[in-house]
Structure 1
Amino acid sequence: MGQHNISSVAHLIAEPVRSVMLITLADGNAMSAGALAQAAGVTAQTASSHLAKLLDGGLLSVESKGRHRYYRLAGAHVSHVLESLASIGPVTPAWRNTPSRSAQALRFARCCYDHLAGQVGVAVTQSMLTRGFIVETGERQYALTAPGCEWLQQLGIDMGDAGFDHADHARRCLDWTERQYHVAGPLGARLMDAFLEWGWMQRSPTTRSVTVTALGWDGLNRHFGIARESCGPD
């Protein structure tokens, strides 16, 4: 049964149109069938067929608002699978040095479902490790330390209901462009929410990329020791 499930899911993800749709939804937002058809470069009828298969396969969920239907990933576990697949194999020099501004923006900072990824996400995680706010506790986990809890409270980040008592409150997520880990799980999501709420970062309305504002660079430098030039071009 498990082997059958793996082959079925792999078949769904492997189809190029469906893979584009899934990656487009990997920031956790919901999109209409029309928007996903445009992103994948197919007709509405073709998109509808692919979306039905992704729904049946458990990779997507759908909600109706009036006459419109909006699709999103079925959960963070689907995004984790997509990021893990993307991290297999080398990132070629051609991709790293691509002149494409959209590709550069994604590598610099992007949403990985509900948390921060890319060069900035890795830099934030490394800073927290260096300062002893988190520690590695296994192949897949970080753990928030007592100084880390105090630091978050000083920043004004509420920790009361975020599942920090669970062992997976700070998951290690392999960044597919940087080949280093960034922090995910409830802690990663809470940090991303705070960065957006404080006006440090802004999400693109059309892609997964994230822009760091002038206020954000000041905050990242002050609280994480991250300078703009240390993360590559914005």
Structure 2
Amino acid sequence: MFFSNDPLFRRIKRSTGRAIGDFNLIEEGDRIAIGISGGKDSYTLLHALEALRRKAPIRYELIPVTIDAGFPGFRSDVIKGHLQEHNLDLQVEMTDCHGIIEQKLRPGTSFCAFCARLRRGALYSLADRLNCNKLALGHHLDDFIETLLLNQFYIGRLAAMSPKLLADNGRHTVIRPMVYVEESDISSFSQRYELPVVDCSCPMAGQGDLKRQRMKELVNELAAENPHLRGSILHAMGRVEPRHLLDRTLKQF
């Protein structure tokens, strides 16, 4: 990899490797499907995991996969071309998420949330066919923090993401190895090496999740005052003290 000696990439790779060790994300003989959306996060995850795999003391396989949701204009060929430049093969799964959404989306239901569920189901099905026992996703530190705040502010519960979680189907383990990697580092890496970011071509693209965007702005505002904010919140997620909370299922009052 031509960027393997870049200090920025080494920092990303080191943080990813630390998360793998801390949460036992990758084990001997794993066959891991990596969801490649064409965005900066999934590209960065793939390159970090591939660099780590080459020097790992254990044997495991990485299988990059892309779900084509059927939106006109989606350029899976651009993703495939980038991976071929790095001697990696891409599995593309063609779906009709677009048509299903148009037919079955109920009024008032989130377009993006429905699409995400359909894509995730397609990922699980593809992982089954490829005999993968794990699915790696490109969520980073900021995603964990924003999800925590969204759940507190809008749902009324203390929950974020888990770096390692058994899927609802009971067959696959979802891993998020970039839990320690800040989005700013991923953005810098993507821009520095001009990673070919591909738009999903969704008709709702650009509208985004306004609540998540507000959480992102809030974190950036607070981080300007406290540079250690992200690390502090991440540390808090791993240091839960039930006796100082109100959950009656965790504590007898």
TM-score normalised by the chain length of structure 1: 0.22
Higher normalized strand content (fraction of residues): 1
TM-score when normalising by structure 2: 0.21
